[in-house]
Amino acid sequence: MSKFEKLYKPDEVCKILGISYVTFRRWIREGKLKAIKTPSGRWRVPEGEIKRLLGVEEIPRETRCVIYARVSSHKQKQQGDLERQVEALKKYALERNWRIVDVIKDVGSGLKEDRRGLRHLIELVKKHRVDVVLVTFRDRLTRFGLKYLEWFFEHFGVSIISITDEKKSPIEELVEDLIEIIVSFAGRIYGMRSHKVKRLKDVVERELSDVKKR
């Protein structure tokens, strides 16, 4: 066994080989499976031993998926938009037999850099706990700077997948971006919970709605 060979826990070995823990222990006793014991008395199996039993060069690995959903306001959350995103994303993942390791929900502007959920997602990526980040639209992650986020995730071998190909018109995207920018800057001035921000947002949405209709 190589000094740097990866060691697998019993539950990981059972899942990869498709056996029960009873069979795992029996194979060790019979010499069919070569395992080692750590100083604390725990069984560990070298990667090469699993490859030998599978007859493969690489061990098949499940796809670990993190679901990320976001809405811009608590009103959208109350209307069920957030949960609809989550349910659609779960369905997509389960149809592909991906293991959902976490479901992250954010409520806030896509321009907000310190979203709790986004920070948590980045930590999961950094710790190599995810293979795929699943979103409804790519702008659920961020309104601007998505290319930088994609580059960062790719560095850790993580893909971003959006489940819908629906594209908004340039006018719709421009209007949404303008609203996000105005609300973001107004929030910094007055505070996001200020009634002034809400009134300003209502006015901007009302005025820009006419632009969408043209």
The residue count of the chain comes to: 214
Alpha-carbon gap, residue 76 to 112, rounded angstroms: 17
- DSSP letter assigned to residue 36: E
Query: If 0-12 CB within 10 Å is exposed, 13-18 middle and 19+ buried, where does residue 23 land?
Result: middle
The single residue of 72, 73, 162, 184 carrying the catalytic annotation is 72
Token duo for residue 68 = 């990320």
Alpha-carbon gap, residue 131 to 66, rounded angstroms: 8
Say whether 2 is catalytic.
Answer: no
Alpha-carbon gap, residue 27 to 49, rounded angstroms: 12
Cα 63 to the chain's mean position, in Å? 12
Kindly give the pairing relationship between strand 43-46 and strand 64-71: unpaired
Alpha-carbon gap, residue 174 to 142, rounded angstroms: 15
Token duo for residue 214 = 């043209």
Hey, is 147 helix, strand or coil?
helix
Question: Where in the sequence numbering do the catalytic residues fall?
Answer: 72
